[in-house]
Structure 1
Amino acid sequence: MFQLYKKRTFNELISDTFTFFKIHGKNYFANYIAINGAIILILIVLLYFFFKVFYDGLFQNGTPNSGVGFENYLVENLNLFIGYGIVALVLILILMFINSLFPIAYLKLVEKKEETNAANLWKFIKSKIGKSIVFFLISLVIIFPLAGLIAFVCFALVFILIGIPLIIIVIPALFTCISFAYYNYISTNDGYFDSISKGYRLFIKKPWPLIGSTIIIYMIVNTVVSFISFIPYFIGIFGVFFNIETQNLDNQQENISFMMIMIGITFMLSITLNYLLQNIISVNQGIMYYSMIDETEKTSNLSEIDLIGSNEE
């Protein structure tokens, strides 16, 4: 069984994230797909048809459409594009809330030593979906504008070089503080502002290992997603280059079609991998949250005392 409440060093914050998935990974992603798989599949199919409609307007009979012709095509199919956009937005919002709650639900079941099955996970998610929406709406007015302003200042300072280290430090710090606040708000009965305060207090107790762990995990996940996602894209590019010596119209049309198919596959694969592998980042934030709770409340020591008492009986 994975130990959540535990004092962890910088290296342990990273290694324990992968240890968690070594122990629970198969069950975790099986349940994730059971709950989210249908929604992700519908979203991918929707985006595929959106991409196909867009491609049909951009290329007529395999040749680039004129600017005026493409504009007319967009106007004629405006309702279709709006419909696709609305449905896609609704699906993305549903996924956003479920995705944000799923790792919290899973870690909560691990904490309580309850069975981590789809039924228990979905029960927790349904019970917390209202709180998740409330957190998002309040943050939309209070936290996100402030975080956006801080990020803007950091990016503006890039021109005098000091902004580069600030971005590397401040962005992960903001992300971790908000993650801790969200974990606390969903996992406890604390109010919104109490959770924001507690998230900050937990973070400030040991900020540098938390920032470092967030950066490393983020880089690993995004490197894997980028590498795997771009394989079809590079296949498309190489396929076009290898056939470029044949300059007849039919071959050009085949090259364009093949390239667009590979771009579409790259896009859809990237979306799927992002949804799946973002769980690693979320679980890492959760492990850091539980570690910092242990730092402040000595939860692991209390658990050991309870265990000794039960053994003596």
Structure 2
Amino acid sequence: MFQLYKKRDFSALVGDTFGFFKLEGKNYFKNYFTINGGLLLLLVLIIYFFSNIFIKGAFAGAQTGNDNAFIEEIYSNLSLFIGFGIGMIFLMTIISVINYSFPIAYLKLIEENKERNFQNLITYFKSKLGRIISFYLLSLVILIPLLVIVIGLTILSVFILIGIPLIFLLIPTLTSFVALTYYNYITEKIGYFDALGRAYEMLKSKFWPIIGSTFVIHMIVQITLGIFAIIPYIIGIITLFTNPESLQQNPENAISFVMILLTAIIIISIICNYTLQNIILINQGVIFYSCKEESGNISVKNNIDLIGTDEA
């Protein structure tokens, strides 16, 4: 079984993230897609219909040379456009909440030495539903405005060159700060501001190993996303070069082909993005339990408790 409580340096934070998936990956993703798979498929369908309306409007304007053709196409399908848009935002919100909460639930079951199955995961979700909802509501009025200010100041500082290296630090720092706050708030019986404080202390205690490992995991995920996204693009380019005459002779087929290609890229990118986010969030979980071990020597205490149990 994967060891949660362990003192880790930079290389261990990265290595144990992938070590977790080597040990638990099959069961982890089986449960992940059991819980989130149906919602992801529904999101794919909505994105397909939503993007279909949008892309048709764009090509209508390009074909006719009429700048108003795009607006007219959207307006003629306005109710569907708005409906699919609202549905897409709603589903993305629900899926994102599950995405952030699932790794926490899974690692907590490991900590409690419980079987990582669908029933236990759902039971944990239900027990934490109130805290999950309150975290997101509180973050809307407290954390998100603060992050917007920090990001805004960093972007402004780019113009005086100081902000360029800061951007490379900002993304992993904010990722870790938000994730560690969420881990603390959901797993510990503490208030929102206490969770923010603990996340700050954890981040400060091992800043460079945490930021370094988070940055490396981010880069691996982004490169992998890029590879998956570019596959349909490469297929499209090959098709254009191998069969250009038929597409030129029949513009409607060309437009349909491009629409399918763009939609496929969007759908693949979104599914891969949500799936690969698990690697980043498990990495943050490894950081969270490592920081707890650094401050509390929990593994030592657990071993002492086990010795007492064995003697009994």
User: Is 1:178 matched with 2:178?
Assistant: yes
CA contact (8 A) 1:240 1:255 kept: no
CA contact (8 A) 1:97 1:129 kept: no
Distance (Å, rounded) in 2 between the aligned partners of 1:3 and 1:142: 34
**Runs of at least 4 residues off by over 6 Å:** none
Which secondary structure state, in structure 1, belongs to the residue aligned with residue 68 of structure 2? helix
Q: What residue identity is the alignment partner of 2:271?
A: T
Mapping for residues 93-172 of structure 1, pairs under 5 Å: 93-172=93-172
CA contact (8 A) 1:104 1:286 kept: yes
Change (3 A) 1:293 1:80: same
Provide the TM-score with structure 1 as the length reference.
0.94
Return 5+ residue gaps in structure 2 as ranges. Answer: none
**CA-to-partner distance for each residue in 1:38-72, whole Å, 9 max, x for gaps?**
01100101111122233333445x94673223222
The corresponding residue for 2:261 is: 262
Return 5+ residue gaps in structure 1 as ranges. Answer: none
Change (3 A) 1:86 1:65: farther
How far 1:154 moved relative to its partner? 1.4
Distance (Å, rounded) in 1 between the aligned partners of 2:185 and 2:136: 11
Q: What residue identity is the alignment partner of 2:187?
A: S
Change (3 A) 1:248 1:18: closer
**CA-to-partner distance for each residue in 1:220-240, whole Å, 9 max, x for gaps?**
011101111211012213322
Change (3 A) 1:272 1:247: closer
Q: Which moves more between the two structures, 28-37 or 44-53?
A: 44-53
How far 1:198 moved relative to its partner? 0.8
CA contact (8 A) 2:248 2:254 kept: no
How far 1:247 moved relative to its partner? 7.6
Which secondary structure state, in structure 2, belongs to the residue aligned with residue 2 of structure 1? coil
Mapping for residues 167-246 of structure 1, pairs under 5 Å: 167-244=167-244
How far 1:248 moved relative to its partner? 4.4
How far 1:11 moved relative to its partner? 0.1
The corresponding residue for 1:274 is: 273
Change (3 A) 1:240 1:262: same
Change (3 A) 1:253 1:39: same
Distance (Å, rounded) in 2 between the aligned partners of 1:111 and 1:13: 18
Change (3 A) 1:247 1:235: closer
**CA-to-partner distance for each residue in 1:144-165, whole Å, 9 max, x for gaps?**
2112211111121112221111
User: Is 1:310 matched with 2:309?
Assistant: yes
Mapping for residues 68-83 of structure 1, pairs under 5 Å: 68-83=68-83
RMSD of Structure 2 on Structure 1 (CA):
1.8
**CA-to-partner distance for each residue in 1:213-259, whole Å, 9 max, x for gaps?**
01000110111011112110122133224444668431x43333222
The corresponding residue for 1:31 is: 31
Which secondary structure state, in structure 2, belongs to the residue aligned with residue 114 of structure 1? coil
Identity %: 46
Provide the TM-score with structure 2 as the length reference.
0.94
Q: What residue identity is the alignment partner of 2:168?
A: I
CA contact (8 A) 2:53 2:74 kept: no
Distance (Å, rounded) in 2 between the aligned partners of 1:146 and 1:247: 51
The corresponding residue for 2:16 is: 16
**CA-to-partner distance for each residue in 1:146-204, whole Å, 9 max, x for gaps?**
12211111121112221111111233222212211110100011111111111111111
CA contact (8 A) 2:247 2:253 kept: no
How far 1:96 moved relative to its partner? 1.6
Mapping for residues 82-97 of structure 1, pairs under 5 Å: 82-97=82-97
Q: Which moves more between the two structures, 257-266 or 22-31?
A: 257-266
- Kindly tell me the number of residue pairs found equivalent between the two proteins: 311
Which secondary structure state, in structure 2, belongs to the residue aligned with residue 145 of structure 1? helix
